[in-house]
Amino acid sequence: MLLHFREMGQGAPLVILHGLFGYSDNWQTLARRWADAGHRVILVDLRNHGRSFHSPEHSYESMSQDVVALFDHLNLDAATTTLLGHSMGGKAAMRFALDHPERLARLVVLDIAPRFSDMEHQDDIVAGLSAVSLATLESRQQADEALAQHIPQVGVRQFLLKNLYRQDDNSFAWRQNLPALTANMSAIGAEITSPQPFLKRALFLRGGKSDYIQPEDKLYHIPALFPNSQVETVVDAGHWLHAEKPDEVFELVQAFATS
């Protein structure tokens, strides 16, 4: 099965993989800017997210193979293709780069390290999403009120509510496959490992207010797998740095992808 994707612009390919509970729509504004700057931007819905297929399996190996199939379908030129991923999408991009280094020119990872995460920070989000009774839901406001019992941050709730949509029978549903994602949460936190490093250029962007990339990641974990990498900090940004500081992220990625 082929992942759902959308394209804009022409030029060197820039493939974007979103994070957990996100989907391609989250990246539209930046994608248009990169398209206007001369890229063929490909926005991807990863499995169990957005408009892509649902599956009981959700691992980085399976996501990497999904991206391989998409690259084949699009016939992307490896010599000019940049793969960018945020958070879970960043780990999927790392897995792809390590397994298929010949398929891309460079890698960009936003605010995630290859090391293991216990994913406890997602417990409140899973609880909030599970608390929304889709069978009796009558409005988005009701869904927001249910989420608020577990998730006080308005911005996080707004991000999650973008996944809520009405089906043909006018009932509500989530775009993401919540049961599969919940069942595979430990796999989403899994460490990315490889016997061989990715020797091509890689850019890691971290939010200055985020703790997803720690000092030991910069010193050991990232260079061990990506020896030709650089880590840049986007000041005053949290984990969703592309939403909080879009101008800075645009410029850093644009400079890296065209150098």
pLDDT for 68-116, tens place per residue?
Answer: 999 999 999 999 999 999 999 999 999 999 999 999 999 999 999 999 9
pLDDT the model gives residue 214? 95
Does the model's pTM come out above 0.75?
Answer: yes
* Closest CA relative to residue 122, chosen from 23, 17, 18, 20: 20
54 annotated active-site: no
Q: What is the mean pLDDT of residues 196-210?
A: 98
Q: For residue 177, what pLDDT band results from cuts at 50, 70 and 90?
A: very high
Q: What is the mean pLDDT of residues 35-56?
A: 98
Fold that domain 5-116+190-258 belongs to in CATH: Rossmann fold (3.40.50)
Those residues whose C-beta lies under 8 Å from the C-beta of residue 158, and which sit 6 or more positions away, are: none
pLDDT the model gives residue 42? 98
pLDDT the model gives residue 182? 97
The rounded Cα 203 to chain-centroid distance in angstroms is: 15
Percent with pLDDT over 70 in the chain: 100
Question: Which residue spans within the chain are E strands per DSSP?
Answer: 5-8, 12-17, 39-44, 82-86, 106-110, 164-166, 172-174, 201-207, 229-234
Q: Where are the domains of the chain?
A: 5-116+190-258, 120-185
pLDDT the model gives residue 154? 95
> pLDDT digits over 117-134, tens only?
999 999 999 999 999 999
Q: For residue 33, what pLDDT band results from cuts at 50, 70 and 90?
A: very high
Q: From the candidates 24, 64, 87, 229, which is the catalytic residue?
A: 87
Q: From the candidates 4, 49, 58, 239, which is the catalytic residue?
A: 239
Q: For residue 32, what pLDDT band results from cuts at 50, 70 and 90?
A: very high
**Residues belonging to the chain:** 259
Q: For residue 39, what pLDDT band results from cuts at 50, 70 and 90?
A: very high
239 annotated active-site: yes
